[in-house]
Structure 1
Amino acid sequence: MKILVVCGNGLGSSFIMELNVKKALLELGKEVEVAHTDLASAMAEKADIYIGAGDIIDQLDNGARNIVRIVNMMNVSEIKSKLDPLL
């Protein structure tokens, strides 16, 4: 399984969110591949779950992808609660 963390430029905010996703997964006891990228690259990249802020991640929602919208990328509890049902 692969989770792709997406932000507009694929730099700072997606890297911070990637670290928090990894922390959430550790707390859930799950071992999952996690990577981060920018929106343009994410359009062509294959993942089981795409996660990011609503304004960015909604652009990836094609009806076939598992999309997770995060309100607060620093909130590990929010990330856990939204990922857990998909794992």
Structure 2
Amino acid sequence: MLKVIAACGNGMGSSQIIKMKIEKVFKKLGVQVSIHHSSIGEAKTQASGYDVVFCSEALKKNFARAEEGGTIVVGLKNLLSEQEIETKIKELVIDKK
């Protein structure tokens, strides 16, 4: 089971929306995941304990250290696009595992 965290600027609405969207896509793809959502500050300190981080493209640089440690960081241009999420999961998560 993959451990996933969805992060946004303050950990409220956007991260919850990302969580719901990625949960739906992982389910569609038949991948079991455990998903947490939080603020960028909290996620930054916890990211190395997760397999995958989802955030907006603009926040991706905050996870450089976790990425160096092997955490997959997925930056999204459109947080609401299930198609973008599915494409990135296939390219960055499924193909790498």
Asked if these proteins are the same fold (TM beyond 0.5), I'd say yes
In structure 1, how many angstroms separate the alpha carbons of the residues matched to 2:57 and 2:64?
A: 10
Higher helix share goes to which structure? 2
Larger RCO, structures 1/2 (Cα 8 Å, 6+ apart): 1
> Over aligned residue pairs, what C-alpha RMSD do you find?
1.2
Equivalent residue number for residue 58 of structure 1: 61
What are the residue-to-residue correspondences of 1:39-78 with 2, within 5 Å? Answer: 39-45=40-46, 46-62=49-65, 63-64=68-69, 65-78=71-84
| Alignment TM-score, normalising by the size of structure 2 | 0.82
Equivalent residue, structure 2, for 1:80: 86
Distance 1:61 1:83 in 2: 19
Q: Hey, what does 2:25 align to over in structure 1? A: 24
1:6/1:57 contact within 8 Å kept: no
Identical pairs, percent:
24
- Structure 2 residue ranges without an equivalent (≥5): none
TM-score with structure 1 setting the length: 0.91
